[in-house]
Structure 1
Amino acid sequence: MKLQELAQRSGVSTASIKHYLRLGLLPPGAKKNATTSVYGALHLHRLALISWVRRELGLSLATVSALTTAIDDATIPNVYLMGICQQLALGAAPRAPEASHRGTEDASGAESTILDILDRMGLPDVSTSARAELARAVTDLRKAGYVVDEAVIELHLRALLEIARGNTTPISDDLSRDEICLEVIRGVTLHNRMLLAASALAHASLSGLARVSSAPATAG
């Protein structure tokens, strides 16, 4: 397809597409002649990814560039690429795959506990980035004075595992790497929004229930 059709099908203006091409966020099209290039499905996939993360997450072009560089790096396996996408969805800057194996010193104890829980639950440790983010969250909660022991962590994981079974499908390697990234980032972001809202509702409801239960009875 030509540039105009690419713009129509992607919903991205020709000016933006040209800008992405200049920045290297979008690979160049195949030359049809001296003045015309043609584009394919991979360009549509890349534009869908860029559009979503820019609109929904407000990512800077520099961060998008780091992501597309990782996508285009064939030496990064899909499982590590998915870890980078999870970090973006969790609000962290993308890091090199090998860096995702290193938890912070403070969170190392929590990571060890999480690994034990995963082993007990029969779950593989396939997302080191997600594990590290959970360990940091647990560590921050503990520093703030909350009791987050092994039983509490396992309770969360078991509950969320049941949710995950119902709302996720395996991401096939048949998808393009841009499609894989969009599936991961969009899925984590949207499900996290629902979980945060549900958590806020549950906490507010329990707080309100406690107030109603403790309120003095009024004379009839």
Structure 2
Amino acid sequence: MQLKELSSRSGVSGASIKFYLREGLLAPGSTAASPRADYGPGHLRRLELIKTLRGVVGLGLAGIKEITGGIDDPGLGTVELMGRVQSIVLGLAEEAVPDHPLMAGLVGPGRWADASSRARNSLNLLLHRMDELGVPANPRVLAVYAAAVDQVAALDVGHAEQAASRDELAGTVAVGTHLYGELLLKMLAVAQASRAIRGPEG
């Protein structure tokens, strides 16, 4: 398909498509069979991803470029790509943060993988911050939270791994991280309210 049809089928203006081409978010079309560039299903998938990252997740150009660059990097494995998308959507900390004492109960044999990541940096940062504010995390509460979110993570990762392409994988992780994170917080608020209404015996 040529630019006009790509624009019509994707719902993205021709001017925007040309901008994405210039910025490297979208690969150039093929010119082998025609003097005018020809575009295929991969271009439609990429435009759908860009629309999702902008309209649903609310990312700017820099974040979108970092994600599409990761998708197009053959040296970046699936796990690393998922981590990159998650980090960009959540704004996770890049700098290493010393492990909080409570981290020992969360990572290691039989628990979460003991590996450095932006997610781990950010969790350590938050635990240290809670100490500084005088509201340290309760180890018992942390253990209950860890067990619950581990089950949610298993569902999320399983769903993402079914993606048919790296673009679809990135979109699934981005939307899941953004919307399901909000969903978990709202569900927790409803559950807490329900417990309070029912009382200690409920």
TM-score above 0.5 = yes
Name 2:127's counterpart in structure 1. 138
Counterpart code for 2:96: G
Q: What does residue range 187-202 of structure 1 map to in structure 2 within 5 Å?
A: 187-202=176-191
Name 1:150's counterpart in structure 2. 139
The alignment of Structure 1 onto Structure 2 pairs a total of residues equal to: 198
Confirm whether residue 91 of structure 1 aligns to residue 91 of structure 2. yes
The match for 1:104 among 92, 97, 100 is: 97
Name 1:61's counterpart in structure 2. 61
| Separation of aligned partners in 2, 1:125 and 1:181 | 24
Q: Shift of residue 90 of structure 1?
A: 1.6
Q: Shift of residue 111 of structure 1?
A: 4.0
Distance 1:165 1:51, change over 3 A: same
Identical positions, percent? 34
| Separation of aligned partners in 1, 2:68 and 2:2 | 22
Q: Shift of residue 137 of structure 1?
A: 2.6
Post-superposition Cα deviations, 1:100-138, rounded to whole Å, max 9, x if no partner, equal: xx6313x4545444214xx334x5457833333333333
1:21 is paired with a residue whose SS is helix
Q: What does residue range 179-218 of structure 1 map to in structure 2 within 5 Å?
A: 179-204=168-193
| Separation of aligned partners in 1, 2:83 and 2:116 | 6
Post-superposition Cα deviations, 1:76-98, rounded to whole Å, max 9, x if no partner, equal: 211111101111222348xxxxx
Name 1:74's counterpart in structure 2. 74
Question: TM-score w.r.t. structure 1 length?
Answer: 0.75
Q: Are the counterparts in 2 of residues 103 and 111 from structure 1 also a CA contact under 8 Å?
A: no
RMSD between superposed Cα atoms in Å? 2.8
Distance 1:113 1:136, change over 3 A: farther
| Separation of aligned partners in 2, 1:40 and 1:143 | 54
| Separation of aligned partners in 2, 1:62 and 1:167 | 25
Counterpart code for 1:120: G
Q: Give the unaligned 5+ runs of structure 1.
A: 94-98, 211-220
| Separation of aligned partners in 2, 1:140 and 1:204 | 26
Name 1:115's counterpart in structure 2. 107
Post-superposition Cα deviations, 1:168-209, rounded to whole Å, max 9, x if no partner, equal: 634338732211111111111111110121233344556677
Counterpart code for 2:11: G
Comparing 79-88 and 128-137, the one that deviates more: 128-137
Whichever of the two has the greater Rg, that structure is 1
Distance 1:145 1:82, change over 3 A: same
Distance 1:8 1:112, change over 3 A: farther
| Separation of aligned partners in 2, 1:127 and 1:56 | 29
Question: TM-score w.r.t. structure 2 length?
Answer: 0.81
Q: Give the unaligned 5+ runs of structure 2.
A: none
Counterpart code for 2:151: E
Runs of 4+ in structure 1 off by over 6 angstroms are: 207-210
Name 1:162's counterpart in structure 2. 151
